[in-house]
């Protein structure tokens, strides 16, 4: 499987990473969106109905659903600590998948695992 280092390197190639301060909302449940994120540095809390259900760290990806047909964000994400995030829009995502097919598997596994965890909590 693709290591977090390779995943992070894909996001490091993108210009203008976004920096979020601890406690800053990255996106909220129900919002529309057009980017997925990769954590270059830091930690991000994932919240459903205002409750933290998962904390993800450097090398993890999130916010994938809006690039694969989900209309709106299904959870809220908040920087747990000061964090630097790379991001991909749909074109960037498709290019990364084409250039590094294992990236697609990493993203699908991450999305599937998170969905399974969230379903068990609900």
Domain parsing of the chain, residue ranges: 4-115
Strand order in the sheet with 36-41: 18-20, 83-88, 36-41, 61-62
Of the candidates 13, 74, 73, 21, the residue with the CA atom closest to the CA atom of residue 38:
13
**CA 77 to chain CA centroid, nearest Å:** 9
pLDDT tens string 61-87: 999 888 887 888 989 999 999 999 999
Class of domain 4-115: mainly beta
Q: What is the dihedral of CA 19, 54, 57, 77, to 10 degrees?
A: -10
> Cα separation of 53 and 97, whole Å?
28
What pTM was computed for the model? Answer: 0.86
Per residue in 74-122, pLDDT (tens digit) is: 899 999 999 999 999 999 989 988 988 888 888 888 888 887 877 776 6
CA angle 69, 87, 35 (to 5 degrees): 25
């Amino acid at each position: 499987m693709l290591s977090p280092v390779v995943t992070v390197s894909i996001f490091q190639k993108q210009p203008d990473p976004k920096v979020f301060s601890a406690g800053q909302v990255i996106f909220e449940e129900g919002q529309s969106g057009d980017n997925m994120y990769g954590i270059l540095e830091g930690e991000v809390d994932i919240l459903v109905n205002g409750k933290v259900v998962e904390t993800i760290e450097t090398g993890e990806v999130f916010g994938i659903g809006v690039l694969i047909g989900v209309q709106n964000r299904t959870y809220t994400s908040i920087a747990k600590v000061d964090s630097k995030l790379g991001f991909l829009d749909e074109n960037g995502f498709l290019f990364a998948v084409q250039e590094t097919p294992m990236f697609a598997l990493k993203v699908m596994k991450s999305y599937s695992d998170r969905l399974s965890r969230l379903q068990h909590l609900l």
